[in-house]
Structure 1
Amino acid sequence: MSALDSRRLKHLVKLQRPDTIDNGTGGRKKNPATDGWTDVAMPWAEIIALRGQEAVRESIERAVQLWRVTIRHRNDVTPQLRLVWGAIVMNITAAAPNEAGDGLVLTCESGGNGR
């Protein structure tokens, strides 16, 4: 088992969580002050593009890019969060510890959300 090499973590990314407010009728809506997302952390990451594909979402065909993103281990990363790298917004589809247990490997998807 090898430890996570910090030299591979070259990209600063944002982890964001949904930010919602009461809609006045018993439901929730995205907070207009934050466009529905608020920053949780800004970890350094290794980002590797895996493959691109076409996908149909909401009756619209879009190009979808799959990514593998590795960050230092955190206990609060779930698929409810998203990752922002520059102008690329990635939905987290899975999060698992690396072999050594000191890193977290995220499987992410961009493009399916229109960005």
Structure 2
Amino acid sequence: MTAGAARATARYRERLAIQQRNVVDNGRGGRKRPDGDDRDWIDVAGNVAAEVLPLRGDEALQNAVLRAVQIYRVTIRARSGLTPDLRLCWRGQAMNIKTIAWSDDRREIVMTCATGEAAA
């Protein structure tokens, strides 16, 4: 293993899951959960290596409930198919994806994510 590869491996210490909403067409132009499945979100990728860095925390008032909102920068190796409609699950916390950007060399994806808020 090269020194650069070893540094990259050490950087991606955390593991997370990428999840999507568990919905299908209902036949009438809407969406619903699949019959017999009560999960709101399902994993589309598990055990994804990541670097997770907290950026700042805020308190937000939503529906008269004070919530602690934490913003993170999450970096993963490049992969296709990521959109803000997906979410990350890290250490049992749901993380809503706010922004997605490719690194200059297109080897990594850097996301801004938030915990402590309702899913979009």
Long gaps (5+) in structure 1: none
Aligned to 1:18: 21
Paired residues in the alignment total 113
Deviation at 1:5, TM superposition (A): 1.6
How far apart are the structure 1 equivalents of 2:30 and 2:63? 23
Secondary structure class of the residue paired with 1:44:
strand
Q: 1:44 aligns with which of 41, 49, 54?
A: 49
Q: Which has the higher contact order (CA 8 A, sep 6+)?
A: 1
Runs of 4+ in 1 over 6 A off after TM superposition: none
Deviation at 1:29, TM superposition (A): 2.7
1:90 aligned onto 2:65:
no
Secondary structure class of the residue paired with 1:5:
helix
Aligned to 1:77: 82
How far apart are the structure 1 equivalents of 2:15 and 2:67? 26
TM-score relative to the length of structure 2: 0.81
Aligned to 2:114: 109
Structure 1 window deviating more from structure 2 (84-93 vs 2-11): it is 2-11
How far apart are the structure 2 equivalents of 1:104 and 1:112? 23
Identical-pair percentage: 40
Long gaps (5+) in structure 2: none
CA RMSD, 1 decimal:
2.3
1:54 aligned onto 2:59:
yes
How far apart are the structure 2 equivalents of 1:30 and 1:58? 25
Max Rg structure: 2
Query: Higher helix proportion, which one?
Result: 2
Structure 1 window deviating more from structure 2 (68-77 vs 31-40): it is 31-40
Secondary structure class of the residue paired with 2:109:
strand
How far apart are the structure 1 equivalents of 2:106 and 2:52? 18
